[in-house]
Amino acid sequence: MRYTSTRGQTPALSFSDAVATGLAPDGGLFLPETLPAFDAAQLARFDALKNDYAGLCFEFLRHFATDIPEETLRAIIAKSYTTFSVPEIAPLKQLSPDLFVLELFHGPTLAFKDFALQVLGNLYEHQCRVRGESINVLGATSGDTGSAAIHGLLGKPGTAIFILYPDGRTSPLQERQMACTGAKNVFALAIDGTFDDAQSALKDVFGDQEFRTRYHLSAVNSINLARVLAQCVYYLSAWLRLPEGARASAEFVVPTGNFGNVLAGWMLQKMGVPIRGFKVATNQNDILHRLFTTGEYSVADVRPSLAPSMDIQVSSNFERFLYYSLGRDTARVREVMSTFKTTGRYVFENFDRDTFSASRCDDAEIPGIIKRVYQDFGYIVDPHTACAFKDLSRDRASVVLATASPAKFPDTIREAIGMEPTDPALEILKARPLVKHKINADPAAIKAFITANAV
């Protein structure tokens, strides 16, 4: 299978080359030339693996990573899920007859990003070994992506990882997961400003083709295709494990800011898995809520919140959604993205609201939702997952994606229910020194830092 850019001005690449490249040289995002169409026979093969997460992941990804020998791919995936703390990898908990929670926080950094970034880290390690080349990985994060990316590459030979994050706008424990590893190949870069400032600077760095080639620079954000494809698997796993009566009607409720999480489920639906629909749950930074309720995609100011991983206004994966929505017309994608960059606004002319719905949750509501969920079900949710519990449908089954451990946000949980959840991995971090590098969200400053520390 080959991979093309959403902007249509980059030659098609293999899976491994698309992963190594990250952001396409024309500024677009890679997608498969054609999506596979899973028929009844393939869905049956998936169903037989519904209780074997690594096996299911291999069976899915082998349709995409066609340039990697299957036994090698199988070993990479098997290794990736040995770092999870529960045998189910992604437990599906039933809270009521029509309410399920998909727990995606049992990886090494206690967040859903581990599902893709453990795989991506091992893919990078494989590529460095096979090609005899080093790789420098650059990412921007609003919270969980950075720590998950770092823990996917901790100490791996031939790699260095540079993560930009908004100083003071992640939770203290999220910052410690990035800046207290002690690994010599990890650089936590704290910028003044927002995640969107970091993401914009990152894209400018990748736009310097000579620089990115010289330093074998690759992207670790959800702009990297491997991130989205690996995240498809937990939707597939959950859908297969739902009771038969719930499969046809279930709606996945997804806390999201950068749109990569829900895009993965939507792409799986486009491949033929009959998922009913998706509800996008935002915090007070509600660009996606406005998109799916009005058809207008427009930027507003970012306001720090209790759910910091969703403090985003420019959603990286919007361009992939746009590409499919415009019938894969790359010229139109270039036109729309150019207009959006200039005006900060785009309005869909014909917007399909059958698949997507949305909700919005202010900071003032989050502690009350956490308290209500605990009182009703004896279940503790983190602030991001709490946003997904607002205005749940009464007409169908709901599968809420629990995207992070509540232990990462102890202050908010304590305020809501008078308890402070803990996790041993986080307690260890509290005693370690914080090593972060203050840097301007300026492409020249970032390139200078990479130049001084690249492998």
Active site positions, annotated = 113
Read off the tokens for 359: 């909700």
Residue at 102: amino acid letter: L
Residue 289 and residue 358 in contact, taking contact as beta carbons nearer than 8 Å:
yes
Read off the tokens for 261: 């999480």
